[in-house]
Amino acid sequence: MTRVFINGIDGLLGARVAELLSLSPEVRIVGLGRSKPPAPVGRAEWLAARLTGKQIAELLRAEHIDVVIHLDFAGAERPAESREHAVQHNVIGTMELLGACAATGVRRILLRSHIGVYGASPLNPTLIAEDRPIARSSLSGILRDFAEVEQFAADFAARRSEPVIVPLRLAPLIGAWSPLVDYLRSPGPIVLVGFDPRIQLLGLDDAADGFARAALTAACGPFNLASDDTLRLGQAIRLAGQQPRAVLEPVVSLALTMGNRDILGHWPFDLSFLRYSCVVDTQRARCELGWAPRQSAADLLQSMRANGRLNDDRAASEAALREFLARRS
């Protein structure tokens, strides 16, 4: 029996991971969130509470947890209260969680991250593999938080053999609220004149499938999870039902220098991501997890535009995971 703890079961991704893991009778799932899960969680037992690091350690020890899935990041599936709160919650909170895991015999930690930690640069390769260093110093906002967490986790893991820490770097998520969805749905999303970078997206069910598979294997990662296809930013905006608003880069740069970030509207990342592409290679996840995205970036946006929400892909993801479980048994 594998005992899995999901930190952040009160998000759509956490709920979906719990529901998929419930397909395996050999898995017991315990979840923690700050509110009731927003969707079915299968056989998972869950607790709605705000716990300190010491209290989480007590919970992990009492439940004999083997695998922790850490998804609870402020600003990932709901807007953060403030940058100060986000840093405290995302970075300091993760440090406390890792300490609790090390103190209680947890064997594996799956860590939510983002493909944006590689940064956007004209020097990026066409496809970025997981061995490329993260670009912590050039990032801000939630991407900076993810990069800081990954750096701390790597330093933490280097000092001990367990727990094994496995970052899963997700493309911007479609199917739940995310910073990029907020941008794509806003009127007249800003773009830079002369630039049209390529982007990747990821469906909620494909993301949950990746976490479920990583929880049930000994694969070490990190893993990139993203759609097979890429879209130009302007194309993505139009597929989402909006028209891009082009602005000269010097105008934006001058406004940012003067402290006026409002000129970017709902754009959630650094200015460099409006200039350059950050496209990842997903071969490692395919080879080591047997994972492959079932939804393309174009289909995700067309579905979101047509229905106001993402088409449910539960049946397909559940069938794929059952096949995966059957091959392992």
**DSSP readout, 234-265?**
HHHHHHTT---EEE-HHHHHHHHHTT-GGGGT
260 near 328, Cβ under 8 Å? no
Q: CATH code at 44?
A: 3.40.50.720
DSSP string, 22-41: TT-TTEEEEEEESS--SS--
Backbone angles phi, psi at 37, to 5 degrees: -55, 140
Residue 268 within any structural domain of the chain: no
Strand partners, 69: 6, 110
Residue 289 within any structural domain of the chain: yes
pLDDT digits (tens, 9 = 90+) for 188-233: 999 999 999 999 999 999 999 999 999 999 999 899 999 999 999 9
pTM summary value:
0.94
Q: What is the pLDDT of residue 322?
A: 76
Residue 266 within any structural domain of the chain: no
Q: Which helix (H) or strand (E) holds 26?
A: none
Residue 238 within any structural domain of the chain: no
Split into its structural domains, the chain has a count of 1
Q: Which domain holds residue 287?
A: 2-177+202-228+280-295+309-328
Cβ-Cβ contacts under 8 Å for 327 (sequence gap 6 or more): 290
Residue 186 within any structural domain of the chain: no
Q: How confident is the model at residue 307 (pLDDT cuts 50, 70, 90)?
A: low
Residue 191 within any structural domain of the chain: no
- Angle formed by the axes of helices 12-21 and 204-215, to 10°? 50
Residue 42 within any structural domain of the chain: yes
Q: What is the pLDDT of residue 310?
A: 47
Residue 187 within any structural domain of the chain: no
Q: Identify which has the larger pLDDT, 52 or 328.
A: 52
Backbone angles phi, psi at 302, to 5 degrees: -65, -40
CA distance 45 to 162: 25
pLDDT digits (tens, 9 = 90+) for 233-252: 999 999 999 999 999 999 99
Rounded average pLDDT over 159-184? 94
Helix (H, G, I), strand (E, B) or coil at 22: coil
Q: How confident is the model at residue 326 (pLDDT cuts 50, 70, 90)?
A: confident
Rounded average pLDDT over 137-153? 95
